Chain A
């Protein structure tokens, strides 16, 4: 166990963590505002990845253009899903929305299988993004650096948006109390739509990164990363954006270290480890690290 190996694992954890964090932010924002665990969120990651594949490999657009297109595709999908499935059943019991989101997720996955076939596709970024960089004993590709920097930029922008702008204020007010926010003259429908759009846009970008990092995509790729990002959101405290970022990085690091430091026979148990952690955290720390207390409704 030398230092270089450890450093390499930490870099991997950082990249995986920033992807989890981006998806977890969306989970957390949507949960914070409409109290809905949106299972279809993971499938927007898949849509983002396939959009990237289409634009970059087939159309050959430059990277910044591709990234912004993917962002907008994600936003559009988020709005579409919210408008068609979740808005008609707003106000129904929480579990109703949850089942519906599972339905939307399965629909998107199977639509993907139907139109794109279930075969995994290879995904490669242009050569200049595959160049290796060295940092002491560890090395990483340019694309890894781009993933990490994009994630950081997006997170900072989002924090600014939520803290300083009028839209962000409206979102926070709606998350606090939806009825009072409506009485204060906030357009609830628009605010919720904007939340879905922002969260889904970030998930789309995470899909671009996922493809760049692992090099293979298929219509069912989004589900498990989506669930894991939900675990990240729970670790940080569902509803809190800084919590989602923190949870994403914690999950990324611990998953990479679990695989990297334990003997290889355990590495295939990584998903069991992640979801075991989820159950334990839900039981002993249901509000997560940075979440607010949920009072018991009588």
Chain B
């Protein structure tokens, strides 16, 4: 008899998340709730970046750029119509009456990020390895420059603040579940296997009939969609979006989570995202109380370098650990 262990593990994980969210909502205070929400958003970011960087081997550092696109678009859409002329006097006329509730606004933000990713992907995805990484850094800087200078829409370096705090733990949990579910489904499908084959050997994959262009663009666009959603959630959690928050440091932090968790392992990304977010939150009061700014980043990068030297495949390697997969093996799926 075949036991579909991955599916059970996934179901248990989702059930656990739902129970956890309800418990948290009723028992924890606001500070802890916000940390839990940040953790959830980081899980979304790490898992979705894992789809691009881990499964398909496209080393992208542009994740915060997609976050920024999603965050700004969601923020503009949910901004109340009465406040718009005050905050953004130069906003183009057609954008003033546009207003959406939170959920559709998030979806629109995610879809816009995915569309931008498709356009970017059509041009830069022929690059390989670290050339692609540098091109995506270039894209991130271009997005930042535009956010800083398109004053009429983005208020420049000030950013959009005073957003309504729509994001609560249920929204975050819901989206974390959707992200994990979709990435999990992709990983254990034929599309996921073609992604892995592109990562391992693109020539062989191409010879076996995998459409490289389609697979890569799909991976980048899906990753960007969830990044856009995460950007929207993030903006409405801290009630502001500014150009400088979507920086290369953020990109670095997400990449560290993916690498430390193991590129390709969803369980690894989730675990690393939880550990690093909590560690980061522990460093924050230390830095502020003792005036030792930057220690958090130094420790992060030290851990990264040590992991790269002594355990280059990360905590769980390229696959899910045994307690999640059971006796399941990739190659005898059917």
Q: Which residues of A contact B (CB under 8 A)?
A: 37, 85, 88-89, 92, 94-96, 98-100, 102-104, 106-107, 109-114, 118, 223-224, 227, 230-231, 234, 268-269, 271-272, 275-276, 278-279, 282-283, 286, 298
Contact = CB atoms under 8 A, between A and B. Distances in A.
B302 interface: yes
Interface stretch (B21-29, B143-151, B326-334): B143-151
A18 to B, nearest CB: 23
B208 to A, nearest CB: 14
Contacts of B293: 110, 113-114, 118
Contacts of B116: none
Contacts of B308: 89, 92, 96, 99-100, 103
B255 interface: yes
B299 to A, nearest CB: 9
Given A271-B145, A275-B139, A298-B203, A110 B127 contact: no
Nearest to B140: A275
Interface in B123-150: 123-124, 126-127, 129-131, 133-135, 137-139, 141-142, 145-146, 148-149
Given A96-B308, A99-B259, A283-B123, A268 B149 contact: yes
A275 B145 CA distance: 10
Given A96-B312, A110-B297, A279 B138 contact: yes
**Chain B interface helix/strand/loop/mixed:** helix
Given A103-B256, A103-B305, A282-B131, 11 more contacts: A88-B309, A94-B129, A94-B130, A98-B59, A109-B294, A110-B295, A110-B297, A114-B293, A118-B293, A234-B134, A269-B145
A98 B297 contact: no
B129 to A, nearest CB: 5
Contact of A107 (B134, B141, B148, B297): B297
B249 A106 contact: yes
B298 interface: yes
Contacts of A118: 293
B148 A279 contact: no
**Interface SS majority for chain A:** helix
Given A106-B249, A106-B252, A114-B292, A282 B301 contact: no
A105 to B, nearest CB: 8
Interface residues of B, number: 41
Contacts of A268: 145, 148-149
Nearest to A231: B138
A113 B293 CA distance: 7
B129 A95 contact: yes
Contacts of B133: 37, 95, 98
Given A89-B312, A98-B130, A272 B141 contact: yes
B134 A103 contact: no
A278 B301 contact: no
11 contacts: A89-B308, A103-B304, A109-B294, A109-B297, A110-B301, A268-B149, A275-B139, A276-B142, A282-B127, A282-B131, A283-B123
A286 B142 contact: no
Contact of A278 (B130, B134, B294): B134
B247 to A, nearest CB: 10
Contacts of A283: 123-124, 126-127
A111 B146 CA distance: 30
A282 B135 CA distance: 8
A98 B53 CA distance: 14
Contact of B138 (A37, A99, A275): A275
A272 B243 CA distance: 14
Contacts of B255: 99, 102
A107 B305 CA distance: 10
Nearest to B203: A298
Interface in B40-77: 59
Contacts of B146: 269, 272
A275 B139 CA distance: 7
A106 B296 CA distance: 11
A202 B312 CA distance: 31
A30 to B, nearest CB: 12
Contacts of A111: 294, 298
A230 B134 CA distance: 9
A37 B127 CA distance: 15
B137 A227 contact: yes
Contacts of B256: 103
B305 A106 contact: no
Interface in B289-320: 292-295, 297-298, 300-302, 304-305, 308-309, 312
A279 B132 CA distance: 9
Interface in B243-295: 248-249, 252, 255-256, 259, 292-295
Contact of B149 (A92, A94, A269, A275): A269
Contacts of B59: 95, 98
Contacts of A234: 134
B303 to A, nearest CB: 9
Contacts of B149: 268-269
The listed residue with most A CB atoms (<10 A of its CB), out of B127, B145, B203, is B145
Contacts of B135: 278-279, 282
Most A CB within 10 A of own CB, among B127, B135, B293, B302: B135
